[in-house]
Amino acid sequence: MNERLIPAREQLTPPDGYPSAPVDPLDLDASTRRVEGLMLATHALQRGHFLLKSGRHAGSYVEKWALLQHPEAAAELCGIIATRALTYAQSIGAEIDLVVGPTTGGVLLAYEVARRLGVRGIFAEEVRGENGATRREFRRGFHIAPRSRVLLVDDILTTGGSLHALLPPLYAAGAHPIAAAVLASRDPAMQSLESPGKDPIPLIATLTLDLPTYEAATCPHCAAGEPIGAPGSRGHSASAEATS
């Protein structure tokens, strides 16, 4: 006898004013509000005074793992990505044969988006060459057929570096990346991935954020005397809190 699945113990409740239930992924306004509400509910979107890895300061921060630790929320956002990516592919008369992502968050996303599209989901790992330079490789026996139409997925886009690093091994395999998708983009100006001699790859973001960063000398949070913390693996700011 199959064991009955246990309902989720933690119910995610977005703040007032945000959709409390899933919405049509193609309704961009409602969908954007739903994604932002889930990020707030999971504390993935935070406000405080943060020291970023780049050395710059910020008053807001997106912690992807705060969201990705909630399978129900992550799966819903992957559903949005899958629907929008499929709609785009159909608009250009194409199909999606494969979904790829970079380690580590992209592994989870590639798997779930691929599951919803009914295709394979694989990931590329970072490797270091003899000269010390790093690159992405598809290892572990992953096969990319020539002319495969590929959807790239990742979690939070800041500069697009992780997505760009997927392109050389894909092009080397003869694949055709047709779109890239992320949970959230921190760069409203980035609408596509650009590579010399290649067609632009449209970018799909379930949420686009405009989160300014500052040099320490011009940081308004420093000027206000707010305590600073380094988010992510280096710990959270004691002053961090959810933001709308």
Assess if residue 85 is contained within a domain.
no
Domain count within the chain: 1
Residue 87: inside a domain = no
User: Residue 97's closest CA among 56, 42, 145?
Assistant: 145
DSSP 8-state code for residue 195: -
pTM (2 decimals)?
0.88
Nearest Cα residue to 148 out of 94, 203, 80: 94
Residue 41 lies in a domain: no
What's the rounded Cα separation, in Å, for the pair 47 and 54? 18
What does the pLDDT read at residue 129?
81
Classify residue 172: in a domain, yes or no. yes
Tell me the pLDDT of the chain averaged across its residues. Answer: 91
- Tokens 């250009």 map to which residue? 92
CB atoms under 10 Å from CB of 103, counted, come to 12
Residue 31 placed within a domain = no
Confidence of residue 232 (pLDDT cuts 50, 70, 90): low
Q: How far apart are CA 175 and CA 169, in angstroms?
A: 9
Contact 40, 243 (CB under 8 A): yes
What was the pLDDT predicted at 97? 98
Q: What is the pLDDT of residue 239?
A: 41
Look at residue 8 in the predicted model and tell me its pLDDT.
Answer: 65
DSSP string computed for 179-194: EEEEEEES-TT--EE-
> Looking at residue 152, which CATH number applies to its domain?
3.40.50.2020
Residue at 3 is within a domain = no
Is 16 inside any structural domain? no
Instruction: List all residues 6 or more positions away from 55 whose beta carbon is below 8 Å from its beta carbon.
Output: 216
Residue 66, in any domain of the structure: no
Residue 182, domain extent = 92-210
Structure tokens at 150: 């590929």
Using the predicted structure, report yes or no on whether residue 228 has a pLDDT greater than 60.
yes
pLDDT band at 29; cut points 50, 70, 90: very high
Encode 11-27: b = buried (16+ Cβ within 10 Å), e = exposed: ebebeeebbeeebebee
Q: What digits encode the pLDDT tens for the residues 108-142?
A: 999 999 999 999 999 999 998 888 889 999 999 99
Measure the CA–CA gap between 106 and 189, rounded to whole angstroms: 22
What's the pLDDT at 235?
45
